[in-house]
Structure 1
Amino acid sequence: MTTPDTALQFGPSSRRLRLQTLVWLRWLAVAGQGTTVLVVAFALHFPLPLLACAVLIGALAAANFLLSVRFPSTYRLEPLAAFAVLALDLFQLGALLFITGGLANPFVPLICVPVIISFASQPLRHAMALFALAMLLISALPLSPYPLPWYQGGAPTLQPVMQVGVWFAITSMMAFAAFYAYRVSQEAALLADALSATELVLQKEKHLSQLDGLAAAAAHELGTPLATISLVAKEMERELGQDERFGEDVQLLRSQSERCRDILKRIATLPSESEEHMRRLPLSSLIEDVLAPHREFGIKIDLIEKSDRSQEPVGIRNAGILYGLGNLIENAVDFAREKVTVTVEHDASKVSIMIEDDGEGYSPDVLQRIGEPYVTNRQRDDKAGGLGLGLFIAKTLLERSGARLRFENRAPDQPGARVEVVWPRHRMEA
């Protein structure tokens, strides 16, 4: 369950790269590089600058060991620190490739790994800087004077045209993989933040629904001391009722204490008297609760009920449904020119609520992505300032209650937008 404290963790700060993740990946790189060098040198007996390779691999292992000792496993790197660590990995791998054949080395594509990690977890400006650094290192590899470790008799060499082809293949693969990782991570991050915001909305609604219980508890706790005050006031009135100096004040004190007792009595009995009414809500009452706050904004709201109220469903009061429908009505009122029409229909199998306005409707590009987080949902932007989360939260809450939503524009001769929300009847009555 999301709490208000965790709400402070939304956004980029909550997605900083965990150091332990990099440490484990680097230990894997150390193991892979060490195993490869040993196999090439001692199993295949290829000539290899063994000492230089050992120094580079040992440097990576030492840096990794220092990081794991210096920082706790839960430590999350700032973007600049993550950039420095990944840049060090790039330099180490680039140097290792440079002394083992350059672009002719079959392990050259591994230089893309730090860049992909950066695009998947870091701010774009740091990821682009690392991409540029990787491009410089890849461009330096063709200049390597070291031959590819190979059998005696001459190592294979790449012709200039082939080197250019390999260079383009690696850079294009790195660019594509980096862009793909960036898009996927951004969509996942936005969805996670939007779902967290949805949980906060539900928690707020739950807290509001608990206020009646808190009021009853407060009335019960205050009842005893107030009864004592009332009793003392009666005794004082009996003794000082005819006193010229204090008689009037004592009578006022007693009358106000009686008034307080009446107020507390009403508060204490309100939940028990109206609990069933508040818990179970007919469809017509639910619609009226949703529409009432939006009737005072100069936009006419027409309610059309196609079915008989005597057969309407009666369900448990659902804060998610109230919030979701309220958000859809609010959007319709915001963008309507003159009128919003709400059509309610129900039968034995389903319940349908259709919300229509006479505004400009949805733009074609937005209509394809409607309901996604951080997408503004209409053509006009004169009410800018939100993040496009409202419609996503409304859609999520309504779908959680069992509804299906359909967003569309009205007919060409009837400009405006239309939203249809349909529940199976048993879900509304559950």
Structure 2
Amino acid sequence: MRAKLAAIRRLAAPGTGRVRLRTLVYIRWFAVGGQLAAVVIVNFGLNYPLPLLACLATVAVSAAVNIGITLTRPMSGTLSDRGAALWLAYDIVQLSTLLYLTGGLQNPFAVMLLASVVVSASVLSRISTLSLGLLVAVCISVLAFRYEPLPGPEPLLELPVFYVLGVWQALVIGGLFIAAFVGSVAEEGRRMQDALNAAQVALEHEQRLSSLGGLAAAAAHELGTPLATIAVTAKELSHDLKPGSPMADDVELILEQTARCREILMELSRKPETEGGEPYSRLPLGTMLEEAARPYLTGTVNLTHDFRAVGEAPGSPEPVLTRSPEFLRAVGTLIQNAIQFADSEVILRARWDAGTVTVEIIDDGPGFSAHLLDRLGEPYVSTRAGADGEGEHMGLGVFIAQNLLNRTGATLRFANQDWWDWWGAGAIVRITWPRRELEHATSETGRVGEHAGQ
């Protein structure tokens, strides 16, 4: 599963192909058609003289580039972040050249320089969008002072300098605003979508494990009787064989391998993943928490359990939950995080009453970074620096856990313990559910996990 999460992370990284070549080619053809129509209408329809050859040559270059790319590259391919940025940079320079020939910022089509920045903000990385925004600012600054006269009726209209400077200021600020803020919002949306995809991968992984466990239990049950028959038959053959028979070794081998198969099936039957819809599919809260923590236990960190009822009715029965892949995966991830960064001990505390269930995971490690506390739960924000750099340290673990727990009605709170606390330094994760909602949600998600493999 880590490989899948890493693949999703690579998709979110700059440099990964996000823009289809066909889309950019079509956009450029649209621009070429619009530019050619404008030149023809102004020069021949309105009879306003233009530097016609220079204008047509500028438009023809873009058409030639498009034709060349169409003939040499598959249109179904994608461009990297850098390739798409260079593509849009060319469009900016080409349009700036055409504006230079037709009045500079006095040309009302100067606003089209922002189009490439808008496209970049929607699909490219923040650094590429900012770079294109700066390129637009440079081109606009040059066009404010260097340009051929705007074609029009005689005498030619010359706009006041302060008006041209106002247009320059508006376009520069608009371009930089789109690059900085619109680009940031779009990138955040892409990152969130990538993280949601990763959460879905994690959930599907847990559901497959659950369904595989059920298949293993069924296989152990169904194969038990044939293996017993084979074993009995082999024993009868061994008793009937005369001493020194050449078949004795073969019969002994059959008995040994049959015993080995029965041991394997017994081992499969004992695995917690095989409980499926059997009696152990509904477990007390404490047992569920212990099962979630079991894969991450180490010999160096002690895990202490503290489970009890609280409130006006201390004898309130312990919540009984259906084994849910979402619950086990999410709580297990948070316990794993605590064990990885604890110095010597992690406390797994559960409290419940008639209306509320609270689980706290407390470690005696360095705690969460203060500047990240408000951002924990966001995708690609790592809780604490990982040592191995594997997929679980990509900052997706807490995001996935929080989203899975939200499906069960949970509210998560991350905090560092105060220095005067009896436990001392360390991090604390508090998960709170309405009791009825938790019991209902795990029942529903448990059934979803069972049906996923059917």
TM-score by length of 2: 0.77
Q: Write out per-residue CA displacement over residues 70-125 of structure 1, whole angstroms, 9 at most, x where no aligned residue.
A: 65543212345434432331232112101111122232232232244345534566
Q: Does 1:388 align with 2:391?
A: no
Partner residue, 1:153: 155
1:201/1:136 Cα in 2 relative to 1: closer, same or farther (>3 Å)?
A: same
Q: Distance in 2 between matches of 1:261 and 1:98?
A: 82
Q: Distance in 2 between matches of 1:416 and 1:6?
A: 29
Matches within 5 A, 1:152-171: 152-159=154-161, 163=164, 166-171=167-172
Q: Distance in 1 between matches of 2:6 and 2:364?
A: 40
Q: Distance in 2 between matches of 1:273 and 1:327?
A: 21
Q: Write out per-residue CA displacement over residues 298-353 of structure 1, whole angstroms, 9 at most, x where no aligned residue.
A: 34524142346762222221111112112222223334445433332223333221
Contact 1:321–1:397 (Cα < 8 Å) also in 2: yes
1:382/1:425 Cα in 2 relative to 1: closer, same or farther (>3 Å)?
A: closer
Partner residue, 2:449: none
Partner residue, 1:281: 283
Partner residue, 1:215: 216
Q: Which runs of 5+ in 1 are unaligned?
A: none
Q: Distance in 1 between matches of 2:145 and 2:382?
A: 51
Q: Distance in 2 between matches of 1:158 and 1:206?
A: 69
TM-aligned CA deviation for residue 128 of structure 1: 6.0
SS at structure 1 position matched to 2:347: strand
Q: Does 1:320 align with 2:323?
A: no
Q: Distance in 2 between matches of 1:101 and 1:315?
A: 73
Partner residue, 1:234: 236
Partner residue, 2:297: 294
Q: Distance in 2 between matches of 1:391 and 1:199?
A: 14
Partner residue, 1:402: 409
Q: Distance in 1 between matches of 2:208 and 2:347?
A: 32
1:319/1:138 Cα in 2 relative to 1: closer, same or farther (>3 Å)?
A: same
Partner residue, 2:428: 418
1:52/1:249 Cα in 2 relative to 1: closer, same or farther (>3 Å)?
A: closer
Q: Larger deviation: 44-53 or 323-332?
A: 44-53
TM-aligned CA deviation for residue 405 of structure 1: 1.2
Partner residue, 2:192: 191
Aligned length: 424
Q: Distance in 1 between matches of 2:64 and 2:407?
A: 51
Cα RMSD for the two superposed structures: 3.9
Contact 1:79–1:123 (Cα < 8 Å) also in 2: yes
Partner residue, 2:259: 259
Partner residue, 1:102: 104
Match of 1:418, as an amino acid?
I
SS at structure 1 position matched to 2:79: coil
Partner residue, 2:31: 29
Q: Write out per-residue CA displacement over residues 281-302 of structure 1, whole angstroms, 9 at most, x where no aligned residue.
A: 2212112213444363334524
Q: Larger deviation: 97-106 or 116-125?
A: 116-125
Q: Distance in 1 between matches of 2:397 and 2:197?
A: 13
Partner residue, 1:75: 77
Q: Distance in 2 between matches of 1:152 and 1:333?
A: 81
Q: Does 1:18 align with 2:20?
A: yes
Structure possessing the higher relative contact order (Cα contacts under 8 Å, 6 or more residues apart): 2
TM-aligned CA deviation for residue 229 of structure 1: 6.8
Q: Distance in 2 between matches of 1:221 and 1:204?
A: 27
Match of 1:354, as an amino acid?
E
Contact 1:345–1:351 (Cα < 8 Å) also in 2: yes
Match of 1:195, as an amino acid?
L
Contact 1:99–1:144 (Cα < 8 Å) also in 2: no
TM-score by length of 1: 0.81
